[in-house]
Structure 1
């Protein structure tokens, strides 16, 4: 069986497994997994930029928050229904991605990290400054009555889970396919050796710009979905910690692997969930786990699986 066929079957298997879990998990874990799938979609967007293109962003929360506030404000003040508001959320994140891409990609290395962090902090401060509409740290709730799509109630746990699965599956399959075509191969080449890629005649800036755009749009879709499915929009999601989270998930799961973001998000979510049950220092335990993985599994969980046992793993 060819690597591409194995990859296709793997992705279908992951999606099918998540679908089956919907009907076998308890209500508590079903709700957790719905949240994890939305956050894993956010991590997939981050993985496009960091894992495949090699651009380390410290401000990705701005795209997640742009999608969330684009949807939330459109519904709260524009009276839009969920589907058009969701499109507004993605468009808001895409526009922000264009601005950040044009300006931040003029820098490289550490400077790129700092510029993205400054952009994210600017977005966070803008949200706080316009607190009259955004409600700042307090945030605002999207009413249950407004969260209806084609007669389906997105507050229903089963519908919410299936909607999160649809979002995650779309992001997973799109990025998996993207890495199989020439565009994705060029992104990997940029990550491995940017100068040589440019010498071969590829427009490196154009590819990096498109990577920022795709990454920001996927992350924005995750933010819009989070606001819609869980009914809350707040400035917390634009803070620094929500820029660090996707980096941790991708590093833990395996940067540059298609299912690494999901594995990392599941691992970190439940590690924090269980450890917080018996200590307030749960982030210390999470940090310890990250240090151990960096020491003994530098490529992340799925990265190590690919290196040791399954070189065909996408």
Structure 2
């Protein structure tokens, strides 16, 4: 479902429509909502079925896709819904990863406790950074988020307690023995990541459909008009930044369990740039666009790296082609195909 459906549009019904009690806008939104539910159910069925159809390596890739899906969905809350471009979100992913690694591997706390702490720490720090960053706009906002990201990266690189540039190893996965499962098995860990992804999407969906989410879309479309309507936009943008950082922190604490390793590379501006690429490829105007972008990025990068060492050049070409020919990203292309197919089906029914 696109961002357009989250805004409160004004519509004046005609006399005939009013007399018949027919609301085309309500019917349109209802149809879009049914399509969204259908896509969600089909997507979930596919994600549940995939690990039983592929080998261990591709199960690991699917876990990676879902982890990046959580990260870029948070980035999309800023880019797609609020209209803010951040080049520092990899820092919050790194904060979540390092918090989990330190608490679980070095201090011996349970992983579930470390994950909760990671999400809280990421939210608090991201919200603090947001309070400072959202006072700026445009290129200034982009640069200040980049500066914060590089600062956190430098701290991680110079901290010997966490291994500095060499990083940390031996991070345990969450203990699921209380339900009779061993998360060291990749398929079990995949379903744990999938559960975290589903919960994240449910929470995020609730946020963007709430009045808070509608205000964010209003800020994206015309912040001056929102201010004129009486909204103080600053706290909305800061909270959106904090929520986005919290999702990045969750992705980080899952990533460190997935790879059993963490180093400062996860916090570089290049990683933040890759997250933005995933959002753009998937479609920043679609709720599930970031997941499609993450899947395309991970699978294309894996495929091209097996063919040539210059895979980044070919991936860049793919990115250009997607942006040039797929309006609205992969999600926008899929939506256009769906609308054309539905339109043709409707036309055939009308003729009959």
Q: Same fold (TM over 0.5)?
A: yes
Given the alignment of the two structures, is residue 170 of structure 1 paired with residue 199 of structure 2, yes or no? yes
- Could you say which residue in structure 2 is the equivalent of 1:192? 221
Q: Secondary structure at the match of 1:153?
A: coil
- Could you say which residue in structure 1 is the equivalent of 2:288? 259
Q: Is the 8 A contact 1:154 1:229 kept in 2?
A: no
Given the alignment of the two structures, is residue 149 of structure 1 paired with residue 149 of structure 2, yes or no? no
Given the alignment of the two structures, is residue 139 of structure 1 paired with residue 167 of structure 2, yes or no? yes
Q: Is the 8 A contact 1:76 1:142 kept in 2?
A: yes
Q: After the TM superposition, which parts of structure 1 deviate over 3 Å for at least 4 consecutive aligned residues?
A: 149-152, 304-311
Equivalents in 1 of 2:254, 2:171: separation in Å? Answer: 15
Q: Is the 8 A contact 2:104 2:171 kept in 1?
A: no
Equivalents in 1 of 2:241, 2:130: separation in Å? Answer: 6
Q: Is the 8 A contact 2:112 2:174 kept in 1?
A: no
C-alpha displacement at 1:278, in angstroms? 1.7
- Could you say which residue in structure 1 is the equivalent of 2:239? 210
Q: Closer, same or farther in 2 for the Cα pair 1:88/1:310, shift >3 Å?
A: farther
With normalisation by structure 1, the TM-score equals 0.93
C-alpha displacement at 1:307, in angstroms? 5.1
Equivalents in 2 of 1:58, 1:259: separation in Å? Answer: 21
C-alpha displacement at 1:137, in angstroms? 2.3
C-alpha displacement at 1:79, in angstroms? 1.3
Given the alignment of the two structures, is residue 89 of structure 1 paired with residue 118 of structure 2, yes or no? yes
With normalisation by structure 2, the TM-score equals 0.84
Structure richer in helix, relative to its length: 2
Please, which runs of 5 or more residues in structure 1 have no aligned partner?
none
Equivalents in 1 of 2:108, 2:213: separation in Å? Answer: 39
Equivalents in 2 of 1:150, 1:210: separation in Å? Answer: 36
Given the alignment of the two structures, is residue 241 of structure 1 paired with residue 249 of structure 2, yes or no? no
Q: How many residue pairs end up in the alignment? A: 309
Equivalents in 1 of 2:331, 2:220: separation in Å? Answer: 19
Tell which deviates more after alignment, 20-29 or 30-39. 20-29
Q: Secondary structure at the match of 2:209?
A: coil
C-alpha displacement at 1:222, in angstroms? 0.6
Given the alignment of the two structures, is residue 158 of structure 1 paired with residue 187 of structure 2, yes or no? yes
Question: Which of residues 321, 325, 329 in structure 2 aligns to 1:300?
Answer: 329
Q: Is the 8 A contact 1:101 1:212 kept in 2?
A: yes
Question: Which of residues 285, 291, 307 in structure 1 aligns to 2:314?
Answer: 285
Please, which runs of 5 or more residues in structure 2 have no aligned partner?
1-29, 341-352
Given the alignment of the two structures, is residue 113 of structure 1 paired with residue 139 of structure 2, yes or no? no
C-alpha displacement at 1:8, in angstroms? 2.6
